[in-house]
Every structure is written in C-alpha cells, then in structure tokens.
Amino acid sequence: MDMDYEGLVTLILVIIFVICIFTFRRWVFNVGRKQRRDYYRSYLQSDDWKRKRYVVLKRDNWRCVYCGARATQVHHKRYAKRNIGKEPIEWLVSVCKDCHNSQHH
C-alpha cells in the first residue's frame, strides 16, 4: 500500500514539474516575442527604416509589385531573424494598401 502511495506522489510531482517547465518556457517565449515586437515597432519609426523604405519605393517606381497600383507601403517578404533592420533590400517590395493587407490576412 505504501509503494502505491509513493508511486502516485512521484507521478504527481513529475506532472507538476513538467507543467512548470512548459509554463516557464512559454513565458520566456512570450517575453522575447514582446521585446522583438516593441523593437520592430520602434525601428519602423527610425530614419534608417524611412531611408530604406524610400529606396524600395523608388526602385519599384512607386508601383505595387502585385497589382501595379500606386504603392504606398513596403512589405517584408522575409524578416531578419536576429537582426531586425538588417534585412537586405531584396527582401522588401513596394505594395499598395490592399495587396499589403492581403499578404497578412
């Protein structure tokens, strides 16, 4: 009888430990995600981004690469995983608002 009780307690402790590890890893992921998002939002307000945005729009003749309408926005085809703001120009394209929305939804 005591062995069954000890086995049950051990099982419960292992389950609690696994839940704690999972919860902690999820929390760390969410903290990192928020930091990346906040940094990216501030980057989009920077002079560096404004210059890069202008270069891309000018390269594409201020036309949406998807439909040919007047481009007002720049879309990231890819994101630099660790170095936000270090993406090459080739990863950026000029888009109109409608096409940009359709790319994200």
pLDDT tens-digit series, residues 18-65: 999 999 999 999 998 898 889 888 988 999 999 999 999 999 999 999
For residue 28, which amino acid is it? V
Residues 6+ apart with CB under 8 A from 57: 71, 74, 94
Instruction: Take residue 100 and report the two structure tokens written for it.
Output: 């940009």
The structural domains of the chain, with segments of one domain joined by +, span: 2-26+47-104
Report pLDDT digits (tens) over 10-27: 899 999 999 999 999 999
Whole-angstrom Cα distance, residue 102 to residue 19?
38
Reference 71, options 99, 103, 101; nearest CA is: 99
pLDDT at res. 31: 94
Please give the pLDDT value at position 2.
Answer: 54
- Does residue 5 carry a pLDDT above 90? no
